[in-house]
Structures are given as structure tokens and as C-alpha cells.
Amino acid sequence: MQQVILQHDARNDEPLSEPVFLILLSLSPQPRHGYALIQDVAALTEGRVRLSTGTLYGALKRLLENGWIERFAQDDTSRDKQAYQLTPFGRQRLAADIERIQSLARIATTRLGEA
């Protein structure tokens, strides 16, 4: 019998970190620039998560490299603001993590109901 070993691409299968999840979620309805992302993530989490600029721009760099987001051309270039938008692959990746979280919540709810 021949054994088949599948390559595992950790970038695509591992759970997203909370900051990355929130950045992708913030970009899901519309493109945003960095400061707008910081503000929206704080609003989404009711102030619980406040992204530092270092965390944000490090995550944006990795998301660009992974092809999950892309730069978005905008008319307002007065302050050299870079805007970002989800790519179709980024939207799929976000949807997959939402599905994973929902599954975990169902399992936890079932387990708590058994206790």
C-alpha cells in the first residue's frame, strides 16, 4: 500500500488570530484605510480590542503577501493614505474562519447543555 502525504499550508488552514480576523471582518463591507480600520475594529469590539499601528501594519503586510487583501485606489491621496480591500480569496478565508467559530460555538453550547 502506498502512503500519501499531503502538504499542509498553515497559512490557509490555521485559525486566524483575533486581530487578523477583525481586520478582514472590517474590510468585508467596504475598503478602508489604516486609521479607519483601527476605529472600526474598536467599534466592532466595543473598545475591547484597540489595534496598535505596529500590529495593524504588520498584519496588513502579511495579508497583502498572502493575497487576502489588496491595495485599493482611492481619490483622496492628499495624505498618502493607503486603502485596502478584501480579495475573493480573503473573503473565502474569512468565511471559513466564521464557519469554524460557529462550529466551535455549537459544540460548546451542546457540551454546556449536557452538564
Question: For residue 88, how many C-alpha atoms fall within 13 Å in the half-sphere facing its CB?
Answer: 0
Look up residue 30 and give its amino acid: Q
Q: Rounded to 5 degrees, what are φ and ψ at 69?
A: -135, 165
Looking at residue 79, its pLDDT comes to 63
Is pLDDT above 90 for 115?
Answer: no
Q: Rounded to 5 degrees, what are φ and ψ at 88?
A: -55, -40
Per residue in 55-64, pLDDT (tens digit) is 999 999 999 9
Is pLDDT above 60 for 7?
Answer: no
Looking at residue 9, its pLDDT comes to 45
Domains in the chain (CATH in brackets) are 17-114 (1.10.10.10)
Reported confidence tier of residue 73, pLDDT bands at 50, 70, 90: confident
Spatial distance between the Cα atoms of 101 and 110, rounded to a whole number of angstroms: 14
pTM of the model: 0.83
Q: How many CB atoms lie within 10 A of CB 64?
A: 16
